[in-house]
Structure 1
Amino acid sequence: MKLRNQDIGDMVIRRKVIHMASGLLITFLIYKNIIGAREVFIFCIFGFIISMLCKRFKIPFFSWVLKMVEEPEQTMIFPGRGALFFLLGVIMVLSIRHFTLDIALASIAILTVADPVSHLVGVQFGRIKHPLSLNKLVEGNIAGAIVGFFAAMRFVTPLEAGVASITAMIVEALEVEVNHQAIDDNLLVPLAAGTAIYLLRLYV
């Protein structure tokens, strides 16, 4: 079934809202020491199992959610791909030995708000093509960096938050590929943000 552009746009908005809401919840639970990398890993395994089941069967609630936020073509290939990669990004920054908890939390916060805001603002208000990307718009990238800065500042210094957020948005715009396969933003954004803060503390 071919979807109208309006239907796809509504799906994207719902997907980004869920991305932000679930990301904020996960950030809060980690900050309060209620969950950690192990629990997020368990969520990820559970999510992967549900994803594989949804590919073949209609699973109550989960299949309905996917229908509301994901194009049918994507559901046929890899249901819930974005959510699973988000969890993998969270696990990654929580597991890197050199990333302290505040670095990990700032990175997750940037991933939670900057990536979806960048997309939504770019789609609604973007006019200027990004010099580093064929698909990104400058206005969206700037908006993502700004909200990412304020989100990260809850956990790190303003300088660290600013550098991390700008770095993350630059890396997001680059669309890094390995063997002609684009690496998911949910992995790149938190890794770039966390690395920027770590290097800033190391050398400044």
Structure 2
Amino acid sequence: MNRLKFEIRRKLLHLVLGSSILLGFHYEILDSLMLFGIILCGVITSIIEKERKLPIVSKMLDLFERPEFRTRFPGKGTIFFVFGALLAIQLFERDIALASIAVLTFSDAVTPIIGIYYNEKKNREKKFIVASVFGMCIGFLAARIFINPLYALFAAAGGTAAEFFEFEINKSNVDDNILVPLAAGTAILLLRRFLGL
């Protein structure tokens, strides 16, 4: 149960961060340059934090950072989340970028919690199906705000698939905060450009 509570806490931060980026980009308060600046500040803070503890930053990391990254790469989740959003904004048209970030924000926040719940309840055989379906539904509803239902369905399916399939580069797993928006956006792009839908 402690792991479930910790993951819920992390994903609440995930929701707040993602919603802030969505609103900021939608209302043209945030742009790519500002997101790049946030990432740069995050990386610098992470490097300093590895060398010596920063009072407020350390407390935040204790609350929200996974133990395996706490000393190795402080703030990894947040930094990669913003990077994933930045990639979506740079690579895709505005509506596709917003939908991709929405899938990352809402689907990716809910799916791991459902998975952990079923693991702790010893129903592991249901974990993949239930978490996938629930994550797709949430992702669809979130993406639907910015794009039509068919696009939203494919975006949610692509994002959910990326959540469960691991990809490696130089023997290191690619962070799902990068994979999810790229998969969601690519799914929409394929429909729009190659199938004429």
TM-score, length basis structure 2: 0.91
Does the Cα contact within 8 Å between 2:114 and 2:130 map onto a contact in 1?
yes
More helix by share: 2
Q: Which runs of 4+ in 1 moved over 6 A?
A: none
**Residue of structure 2 aligned with 1:22, choices 1, 14, 17:** 17
1:171 partnered with 2:162: yes
Residue number in structure 1 paired with 2:101 = 108
Q: How does 1:60-99 map to 2 (within 5 A)?
A: 60-96=55-91, 99=92
Task: Please tell me the root mean square deviation across aligned C-alpha atoms, in Å.
Answer: 1.6
Among the aligned pairs, what percent are the same residue?
Answer: 38
After superposition, give the CA deviation of every residue in 1:131-154 in whole Å (9 maximum; x if it has no partner): xxxxx6221121111100000001
Does the Cα contact within 8 Å between 1:11 and 1:70 map onto a contact in 2?
no
Distance 2:66 2:88 in 1: 29
Distance 1:34 1:104 in 2: 15
Q: Greater shift after overlay, 139-148 or 102-111?
A: 139-148
User: Can you give the 5+ residue segments of structure 2 that lack an aligned partner in the other structure?
Assistant: none
User: Can you give the 5+ residue segments of structure 1 that lack an aligned partner in the other structure?
Assistant: 131-135
Distance 2:162 2:66 in 1: 26
Residue number in structure 2 paired with 1:133 = none
Distance 2:139 2:68 in 1: 31
After superposition, give the CA deviation of every residue in 1:157-187 in whole Å (9 maximum; x if it has no partner): 0110011101111122111122321110011
Whichever residue aligns with residue 174 of structure 2, its letter is I
TM-score, length basis structure 1: 0.88
Distance 2:52 2:132 in 1: 38
Secondary structure of the corresponding residue to residue 140 of structure 1: helix
Distance 1:129 1:182 in 2: 24
- Number of equivalent positions: 192
Residue number in structure 2 paired with 1:187 = 178
